[in-house]
Chain A
Amino acid sequence: MTRADSLIQELIEIVGTRGVLYRKEDLLAYECDAYTIHRGMPRAVVFPATTEEVAGVVKHLHKQRIPFLPRGAGTGLSGGAIPIGGEVIISLVRMKKLLHVDLENRLAIVQPGFVNLKLTHSISDKGYYYAPDPSSQYACTIGGNVAENAGGAHCLKYGVTTNHILGLEVVLPNGEIIELGGVPDMPGYDLIGLLTGSEGTLGIVTKITVRILKNPEDKKTVLAYFDEVEDASYAVSDIIAAGIVPAALEMMDTVAIEGVECGTYPVGHPPGLKALLLIEVDGIAAGIDEQIDEIVAVCRRRNVLEVRVARDEAERGRWWANRKTAFAAMGTISPDYLVQDGVIPRSRLPEVLNEIRQISETSGLRIANVFHAGDGNLHPLILFDARKPGETELAVNVGSAVLRVCADAGGTITGEHGVGIEKKEEMRYVFTGEEIEAQTRVREVFNPDHLLNPDKLFPKPGRCAEMGIIRE
């Protein structure tokens, strides 16, 4: 028996025959997550069903010095769950229970493989919901949301995942099980804050206590069409400047609109639009109409072509389905895309969008913009065809150039998709070598042997960015 064979046997002893995949054919589908540019084959995929099984697997791998990484639904967009070093994947999809709902204290306890939207579906009849709503919420897991500190359209008003996590149960890279938090505002260091968004480099989350919210009494949604991107951008700033905090403030440009209209959930947006805004306000019923009137007035002052309020829940649902499936709908107009995730100060929106357009023109690759305009979180989708020689590399370089623009505008390289393997080198756009080293020293405390999700999140020390930048 080879060493590899005995590893599989040992894993089977911990999680059972049905809990391990190891044939090459069965592993191939795990060579990437929703970021498909880098790929690597895992050594095996393990499916623990309990925290103890996770700990058992981790302890064993730790003892054997075999690298490993956690994976949820694999909807991540920066490659955090891609085994670039032959890691063993610990898949958490079989730990998918809703363990406890406590309406009085407004919290729920879930296993990491529990799907984001299912939480809202499970409590909506009682008038509650879970606020963080990444566009992949139909499929992504809350464990993955914690790893990436996922955002979403409604995070403008309600905050991102980290603002909704009350407690975590974590398996550390040596197999030890720890509990963090459980009640709001624990004294001492905010370790939950540290773990949330650590991209699976500090520990594997096995139980999550989340905050749940009461459904807003009322909500209204506005759709506004523009024939100048600048007008739409200024309207975004004006709405916030008017003192309104919309629940969501989303923008799409021409190429993005073309994509969603070819997709499964078209709304019937007129062709040739330069930009559209999707704006939602919610809260107590009194005052909602005034906010809507104000938003409509702002849009009119910014030369809106057409602005209307959703007639009913069905129409609102259609608008959101159209927006939330926008990324994947690009599959209808391009075989591949690379989505970027830069964040910029809202006031710089018009000029940054302009620079992105110039990068697109210079490189010859189309860029669709669909993004959370309200918090300046851009999602330029770089459209390319991986079958054409050199185009993948070009797309990667274009992505890097876009992030440089965001960083130079006083922003950062990721709002909610994480760094993963994709943006490791771009971390240098926003951190100095010392700052990066300081952060990796924090990682050492939890993950001293680098066995858990190695080579993610931070660039290797000393190596400078090698990515060519198109616009230079």
Chain B
Amino acid sequence: MMSQSGTEIVKPHTEPVVFATMSPLQAAEEDKYSACVHCGMCLESCPTYDELGHEHQSPRGRVHLMKAVAQGKMDISEAYADPIFTCLDCRACETACPSGVQVGTLIEEARGHIRQAIPLTGWKKTVSRTFLRGLFPHPSRLHALGKALKVYQRSGLGKFVRRTGLINIAPPHIREMEAIMPQITEPVLIRYPQGVPAEGEAKMRVALFTGCVMDVMFSDINEATIRVLIRNGYSVELPQEQRCCGALHVHAGDREEGKRLARKNIDAFLASGVDKVIVNAAGCGCALKEYPELLKDDVQYRDKAEVFAEKVEDITKFLHEYGYRKPRGKLDTRVTYHDACHLAHGQGIRQEPRDLLASIPGIQMIPLPDADRCCGSAGIYNLTNPEMAASILDKKMENVPAAAEVISMGNPGCMLQIAMGVAKYGRSQKVVHTVQLLDWSYQKEEQNERTEEVR
């Protein structure tokens, strides 16, 4: 039936080097891609297709190639690796897909296969080794880096903060918020080994997933998260054995290291016996929720992974669902909200953070066109694919309304990327995490109350 009349193919200028073909075992994911009926509804959602217009750089095209590899019609080669690794893993296509094809999972698995067949060489190997295996999984090394960073920051008079666009020439009320913004402190994992009790009677015990980079670069966000939680009657545990979530490893095709970290985290958090595991980094939250998928072949851990994943919740969804007291401190600022891919597409969390922001007195929300379009950060994508990441960031920045003074979001990777965009375009917006605005409003409320008392 298949028409083969058009089989004359142009000889490529350079023959791609073939490294391996797919083993039958690796091809076992058939049902996952057979749900793709090639309709093309995903095309417009894909930032890389939008940029290049190439079918093989679209979700449908990538799935088509995976099918071809699984069916032995195509070899695993650099020509296959390119579209698979050019994917941002932003999951926007999963939102668009009418039949629920899990493109993200398929991409991550394909990357695993590719890395087995074509191990990295050269500088990419060095970068990957240094960051993925040498740094992120080791809290002590990360914390040492954090200290070094802090010294740099002090000596450079907050140059770093300025360079990432966190201060700039801000209007007075923004500077006011800056003033109550806590200084970068040491990682919360070190600071509160015993956890932090709730203010007043504890409604619930939760654990905070601190994240590896989050706790070093953005420990102030972790501090803010803890303050907001305890203020609302949740006691916060900080299981000391927790590790990096492994998302970056899985994205890069290093599934073994990803699984090792997953098992560590499952053990650490289940041992703490908490009701919920709170995450404030969208990428980590998504990865933690997907542990059951990652460990589905691990007889010992797959059930535990299910139990663990059930407990994982993003901070904004948690507060929205389990309740928080509306803050009273007025912030008087215009805020636009950027949907982190791994919140909106990965976890379906869109309205909750917006509701939280809207509940803060004095905040005027300004819609961000294409708010759920990737900013180009995508884990370490901006390091591995700088050109593509930059053009995607350009589009994001074009959409940021001039009237907005603050860009709020729920993922540290996006914060760094968009802060870079703010700096690059000479914009003045402040880049913050949603929970920080909530925290600042609570703090302002307290300040006001103290002032009242003094009077």
Residue ranges of A at the interface with B (Cβ–Cβ < 8 Å): 2, 4-5, 7-8, 21-30, 32-34, 36-45, 47, 73-75, 83-87, 91, 93-94, 96, 113, 115, 136, 138-140, 262-265, 325-332, 335-337, 387, 392-393, 396, 421
Contact = CB atoms under 8 A, between A and B. Distances in A.
A7 B8 CA distance: 14
Contacts of A38: 1-3
A84 B1 CA distance: 13
A138 B9 contact: no
A335 B79 contact: no
B367 to A, nearest CB: 12
B53 A47 contact: yes
Query: Which interface residue of B37, B80, B95 has the most chain A CB atoms within 10 A?
Result: B37
Contacts of A39: 2-3
A332 B100 CA distance: 7
B34 A335 contact: yes
8 contacts: A23-B12, A25-B77, A40-B5, A74-B55, A139-B42, A263-B98, A328-B97, A329-B99
Contacts of B42: 139
B379 to A, nearest CB: 25
A264 B100 contact: yes
Given A94-B53, A263-B100, 15 more contacts: A2-B11, A22-B13, A28-B56, A29-B54, A29-B65, A41-B7, A45-B55, A75-B41, A84-B5, A113-B53, A263-B98, A328-B37, A328-B97, A332-B100, A335-B35
Interface string B31-56: 00011111111111000000001111
B100 A139 contact: no
Contact of A7 (B9, B10, B36, B96): B10
Nearest to A18: B52
B41 A40 contact: no
Contact of A29 (B6, B34, B39, B61): B61
A328 B41 contact: yes
A86 B6 contact: yes
A140 B58 CA distance: 14
B9 A24 contact: yes
Nearest to B54: A21
The 4 closest A-B pairs by CB, nearest first: A40-B6, A331-B99, A325-B98, A25-B79
B6 A85 contact: yes
Contact of B53 (A7, A25, A91, A396): A91
B56 A328 contact: no
Interface string B14-44: 0010000000000000000011111111111
B99 A328 contact: yes
A25 to B, nearest CB: 3
Nearest to A42: B6
A392 B5 contact: no
Contact of A25 (B6, B34, B37, B80): B80
B96 A36 contact: no
A139 B77 contact: no
A73 B2 contact: no
Contact of A393 (B1, B39, B58, B65): B1
Interface string B71-91: 001100101100000000000
Contact of A73 (B5, B43, B80): B43
Given A139-B41, A328-B41, A5 B79 contact: no
A136 B100 contact: no
A40 B97 contact: no
A328 B61 CA distance: 16
A84 to B, nearest CB: 5
A23 B16 contact: yes
Contacts of B60: 29
A61 to B, nearest CB: 14
Nearest to A44: B10
Contacts of A30: 55
B7 A263 contact: no
A24 B65 CA distance: 11
Contacts of A45: 55
A8 B10 CA distance: 8
A200 to B, nearest CB: 16
B4 interface: yes
Nearest to B97: A264
Contact of A84 (B3, B39, B73): B3
B64 interface: yes
Contacts of B34: 331, 335-336, 387
B68 interface: yes
A332 B35 CA distance: 6
Contacts of A28: 56, 64-65, 68, 73-74
Contact of B79 (A26, A47, A113): A26
Contacts of B65: 25, 28-29
Contacts of B294: none
Contacts of B35: 331-332, 335
A56 B16 CA distance: 30
B407 interface: no
Contacts of A337: 37
A392 B10 CA distance: 29
Contacts of B55: 29-30, 45, 74, 91
Interface in B95-110: 95-101
A397 B149 CA distance: 69
Most buried by A among B35, B54, B97, B98: B98
Contact of B98 (A37, A265, A393): A265
A97 to B, nearest CB: 13
A262 B99 CA distance: 8
A263 B101 CA distance: 10
A460 B290 CA distance: 53
Contacts of B99: 263-264, 328-332
A136 B40 CA distance: 8
Contacts of A74: 40, 43, 55
A396 B2 CA distance: 12
Contacts of B98: 263-265, 325-329, 331
A44 B6 CA distance: 11
Nearest to B80: A25
Nearest to A74: B40
A351 B42 CA distance: 37
Nearest to B34: A335
B21 to A, nearest CB: 14
A115 B44 contact: yes
B11 A4 contact: yes
A74 B44 CA distance: 12
Nearest to B37: A331
Contacts of B68: 28
Contacts of B77: 25
A40 B3 contact: yes
B9 A43 contact: yes
